[in-house]
Structure 1
Amino acid sequence: MIDFERGRFWPRALALLIDFVVAAAILQLIAFVLFPLTGGRAQFVSGVAPSCSAVNAIPKGPSLPADYAVGWITDCRYGFFGMTSARILTVTRIPQNEATASARTNIVRLLDAEGKPFNAPTLDSLVLPFLFALRFWFDRGRGTLGRRICRVRLSGVIEAQSPLPIGAAARRYAAQALPLVPLVIWSLLQRVMTGEQAVASLSGSALLAMPGASLLMAVPIAVYAIVCRRDAWYDRWAMTRVLRLDKDRTLIPSPASALPAVRAEAALTHPPALPEPRTGNYFVRHWRGELSLPVSYWANGVVLSAVIGMASGALVVAFTIYGEEQPVPWLIALQTSCLVISLLAIWQVVGVWRAATRYKRSGRSFWGGAAKAAVALAALQLAYGWVFVVGPQIVDTYEMATGDVAFGPHEFNLLADGRMLEFYGGITFGLAKEFESLLDENKGVTTVRLASVGGRIREAQRMSDIVKRRGLATYVVEECLSACTVVFLGGKERFLLDGASLGFHQPSFRGMTASDRKIAIAEEEARLRTFGLSRSFVERVNSASPDDMWYPEQDELVREKVVTWIVPTQPSNSTASTSSVADTVPVAPRAPSVFPTPGAALSGSGAGPAVIPVELIKRLAPPMTAPKATPEPKAETATAGESK
């Protein structure tokens, strides 16, 4: 009996990649021909870098949700040398009540040659079926281009006939395609029924894991068999095998075979002998380093890490969507997932290290040393993540679950006969619910007076939504910093006492990485643009580091529509005190013949910022007692995705 060497993992992976590129390139060429012939109705999106340009308006056709706040719109063409294979319209939204990059949602629509949106599947959905068809056809002869370049051959178990029997090839590729069926069906339903070509959202990622579960189970099992130089599960079922060829295109006998190499076209093969029985638990054998180095590193290291990473990501997604109002379960889930990942990483590192040591003792030192260097870097990365990312995030989640005492106390007070609700102190977790309940109990409130050094940005965004939904005005008499400005911008009318200040800086949270910072800044800039602020002002806001604060001049605040009215503190012909002015409800003037109009104030024209005469304020609301002293600014602490 003659047994032959199986194809190695990397040549087989490279062959698959080459065949995939060939299939995609053929479909790309087909799309170049069909796009002009069908008026842009036949498109292939993948494979070519797009050329994108910003547009100011959405073409007629796409229907967006009523609360969909558009961030930016782009029109992208895919192609080169003047040929087009696809045209895509992307509408991006970053909700004001979310604080993480994962809250960003994209609605992507196909555009025909005339720029009109339409809904139809693209040729991209045919890449996998076309790849299977190419391999099925060419494997019955000398093999696909990828297999020929990488010197591997698909052969039968009993007889290595040329061509390969149709039945064996059909069974093999049917078995390979079976785990993909739920994923393909789900993808088609998403594209056809919802009319959206892609939805980059948290819920989309979570739901995608369900139909992809079969694929997540089938792929690691097949990879493990290939790494171990054994036939994969689909090859055993189809009675096929992938064999290695030498430079002369002949099969290579396994070391146990004493017969010379045989021509691939005439070789007769037999099922491999059963492996010697092994004792001991699989996890224990890895821990002891008894598994081979490829199995320990690739199967138990790389592949298993990818599976656990996706599972942990799904857990984080679930708690981000459903658990943001429940910090205690959130904290438990975060700690549990981090503990599991850490224990798994230790098990992986120790097992690979010991397997590499055994591998080096056999005289092959290069790959053993490379594996040790890789796991050492992985261990350092794990330690760095615990110290600078995971640890700080767990601490902040604990603070949120225990009441956010680090931000200091807060207090609400009714002023001006119940028409003004004053808030001062830290913006802590759960504050938005308290704020809304107070407004429900006091229907006469028309103005919210703010004095805060910031806090949780999500709570501030929820408060801002409440203010905007109820049509309330906002008012600052001393200072409103960081996340407090988010609440202030929600006001229908935004008043600032002359001499008061608004402070802006970049969003921040504990454990923030460099990529997290870039995403958070981009999200914050998009959110500020929804208030009508100019790009230059938004960029200036986010140029201040989290440890710094930018205080714009009042003229600039009025010009940029951040503030609609400046309230004077002391008129020249009145003895009213500053505190009495601060405790009254500011009212925008309604008589254009006497007072400047809101349009003039917002445009920045005239001699300076618009002001409200104090005499009018005194007539509209009687002076109240002096306000409570605003607490001194405290150093902010932050929670991942929750503070600013």
Structure 2
Amino acid sequence: MRYLLNHLRGRHPLWQSFWVNGVGVRLTLYALILLALSAAPISILAAAALVGADALCLLWQSVGYFRAADARVRDTGSMLPTWGGMIALVIAVFVVASQWWALALATRPGEDGPSFAEQKALERQAEYQIVRQLDGNLLFQGQIVLGVTKALDRELAQGPIPTRITLASDGGNVFEARGLAKLIMTHEIQTHVEDTCSSACTLVFIAGSQRQFGPDARLGFHSYLLEDAQRLPGFNIEAEQARDRAFMLGQGVSADFITRVYETPSSDIWFPEHGFLRQSGVVTQTP
């Protein structure tokens, strides 16, 4: 303790204050912090204790050295020890700051939960369900969001390929709906609606090899909005609607029906009567 107080009061020779109490102690602390970092992750409490101890040590080193330097200035009149100490202090501050930052990072485990992209994917997955039913057929319910096409593809790859998929959705991303539609067409899966299938969901429904709905089913149609997509360079909403118009025509839907779909404002929705849906080729089978 006396040794520490003597340094703090500037009573040690200048060389001892700098090389032993300054450089030597600083290198020892540097090694101890590296040792702590090698055991990462470490607790926040341990990291805080190391940072606090290091800060107090740096203060002790600096005060003791500059008091010893002041004594040398009074004896010799040379300011060199003071300026040299200032340069050494600046370097020391940069070193300890980097060590403290490393200690802060080391309090975080290597696996600190999902990344931002993974978290967003988990949030999107919570918006829909793809359920394998007892008869082997599928139920899709919820929003058509990014990633849903890959999810259905994985389910189909697990097999067996279902005969039918039942849809219950208010729509969502039209590009993902096209992906679902392509998978359904590729595997020649029938589509079925018991409740409501609206907006982008109707593209998925029309992709079915056979299309059936229950007595209480509703199919809701409207023109496209696609606000986010319209910001993309070269995007043309009329071209996108023309693409899906051709798709629906190819699936046997009448041209008059499709015209009515795209005459319905995106802010509104049209629920055609069951008879008109059958007449227009939207529904191909009765329950």
The alpha carbon displacement at 1:498 in A equals 1.0
What is the aligned partner in structure 2 of residue 562 from structure 1? 282
2:153 counterpart residue number:
436
Q: Choose which of 166, 173, 183 in structure 2 pairs with 1:466.
A: 183
Q: Aligned runs of 1:353-502 on 2, under 5 Å?
A: 402-403=120-121, 405=123, 409-418=127-136, 420-443=137-160, 445-502=162-219
How far residue 461 of structure 1 moved from its aligned partner, in angstroms, is: 1.0
Contiguous gaps of at least 5 residues in structure 2: 1-115
SS in 2 for 1:440: helix
Question: Does the Cα contact within 8 Å between 1:498 and 1:566 map onto a contact in 2?
Answer: no
Any residues of structure 2 matched to 1:541-580 within 5 Å, and which? Answer: 541-567=261-287
Q: 1:413 to 1:404 in 2, by over 3 A?
A: closer
Could you tell me whether the CA contact under 8 Å between 1:505 and 1:549 is conserved in 2?
yes
Q: Any idea what SS the aligned residue of 1:540 has?
A: helix
Distance 1:486 1:433 in 2: 17
Question: Alpha-carbon deviation of 1:560?
Answer: 1.4
Q: Which has the higher helix share?
A: 2
**Structure 1 partner of 2:55:** none
Query: How many Å apart are 1:509 and its aligned residue?
Result: 1.3
Shift in Å, 1:442: 2.7
Q: Which amino acid aligns with 2:185?
A: K
Contact 2:124 / 2:145 at 8 angstroms: preserved in 1? no
Distance 1:437 1:408 in 2: 17
Q: CA RMSD in A?
A: 2.6
Deviation at 1:433, TM superposition (A): 1.3
Over residues 331-370 of structure 1, what are the superposed CA-to-partner deviations in whole Å (9 max), with x where a residue is unaligned?
Answer: xxxxxxxxxxxxxxxxxxxxxxxxxxxxxxxxxxxxxxxx
Which of 214, 224, 238 is residue 507 of structure 1 equivalent to? 224
| 8 A Cα contact 1:506 1:546, kept in partner | yes
- Count of matched residue pairs: 168
Structure 1: distance between partners of 2:242 and 2:215: 32
Q: 1:548 to 1:522 in 2, by over 3 A?
A: same
Q: Which amino acid aligns with 1:544?
A: T
Q: Secondary structure at the match of 1:542?
A: helix
> In the superposition, relative to structure 1, how do residues 404 and 508 fare at CA in structure 2: closer, same or farther (>3 Å)?
farther
In 2, distance between residues paired with 1:441 and 1:490? 21
| Residues 1:433 and 1:494: Cα distance change in structure 2 (over 3 Å) | same
Offset of 1:404 from its aligned partner? 8.9
Any idea what the Cα deviations from partners look like across 1:14-58, whole Å, max 9, x if unmatched?
A: xxxxxxxxxxxxxxxxxxxxxxxxxxxxxxxxxxxxxxxxxxxxx
Secondary structure of 2:166's match? strand
Is residue 474–residue 493 contact of structure 1 (8 Å, CA) maintained in 2?
A: yes
| Structure 2 Cα separation of the partners of residues 400 and 509 of structure 1 | 25
Change beyond 3 A, Cα 1:404–1:488: farther
Output the amino acid matched with 1:532.
G
Aligned residue for 2:241?
Answer: 521
Matched, 1:531 2:248: no
Question: Is residue 525–residue 542 contact of structure 1 (8 Å, CA) maintained in 2?
Answer: no
SS in 2 for 1:474: strand
Residue pair 2:254, 2:281 contacting (<8 A) in 1 also: no
C-alpha distance in 1 between matches for 2:170 and 2:224: 13
Structure 1 unmatched ranges of 5 or more: 1-397, 568-644
1 CA distance for matches of 2:129 and 2:261?
28
Query: How far is the alpha carbon of 1:407 from its aligned partner?
Result: 9.5
1:519/1:445 CA distance change after superposition, 3 Å? closer
Shift of 1:417: 2.8
**SS at 1:403 equivalent:** helix
CA gap of 1:538–1:493, structure 2 versus 1, over 3 A, is same
Amino acid at match of 1:529: L
- Cα deviation code 1:207-259 (max 9, x no counterpart): xxxxxxxxxxxxxxxxxxxxxxxxxxxxxxxxxxxxxxxxxxxxxxxxxxxxx
| AA matched with 2:216 | G
TM-score by length of 2: 0.53
Distance in 1 between residues matched to 2:122 and 2:271, nearest whole Å? 26
SS of the aligned residue for 1:495 comes to strand
Cα displacement (A) at 1:530: 2.0
SS of 1:548's partner is: coil
Sort the Cα spacing of 1:465 and 1:519 in 2 relative to 1 into closer, same or farther, 3 A: closer
| Whole-angstrom distance in 1 between the partners of 2:148 and 2:127 | 11
1:464 alignment partner, SS class:
helix
Question: Which residue identity is paired with 2:178?
Answer: Q
* Amino acid of the structure 1 residue aligned with 2:245: E
Residues 405 and 545 of structure 1, relative CA distance in 2, 3 Å threshold: farther
Secondary structure at the residue paired with 1:476?
strand
Structure 1 443/402 Cα, relative in aligned 2: closer, same or farther at 3 Å?
A: same
Q: Tell me by how many angstroms 1:405 deviates.
A: 4.8
- Provide the C-alpha distance between the structure 2 equivalents of 1:401 and 1:506, rounded to a whole number of angstroms: 32
| Cα contact 2:167–2:201 (8 A) shared by 1 | yes
Are the counterparts in 1 of residues 130 and 140 from structure 2 also a CA contact under 8 Å? yes
Per-residue CA deviations over 1:552-580 (Å, capped at 9, x if unaligned) read 1111111111111232xxxxxxxxxxxxx
Task: Tell me how far 1:528 sits from its aligned partner.
Answer: 2.1
Deviation at 1:399, TM superposition (A): 9.8
Does the CA-based 8 Å contact 1:544-1:550 persist in structure 2? yes
Q: Is the 8 A contact 2:221 2:269 kept in 1?
A: yes
**Correspondence list, 1:240-279, <5 A:** none
* Alpha-carbon separation, structure 2, partners of 1:455 and 1:404: 17
Matches for 1:68-87 after TM superposition, within 5 Å: none
Q: Tell me the equivalent position of 2:83.
A: none
In structure 2, the residue corresponding to 1:460 is in which secondary structure?
Answer: helix
Aligned to 2:3: none
Over 3 Å counting, the alpha-carbon distance change for 1:459 and 1:517 in structure 2 is closer
SS in structure 2 at match of 1:545:
coil
Equivalent residue runs for 1:269-308 within 5 Å: none
8 Å CA contact 1:505, 1:544 repeated in 2: yes
Distance in 1 separating the partners of 2:218 and 2:118:
28
Percent sequence identity is 29
> Could you tell me the TM-score, scaled by structure 1's length?
0.25
Instruction: Tell me if structure 2 keeps the 8 A contact 1:426–1:453.
Output: yes
Post-superposition offset of 1:510: 1.6
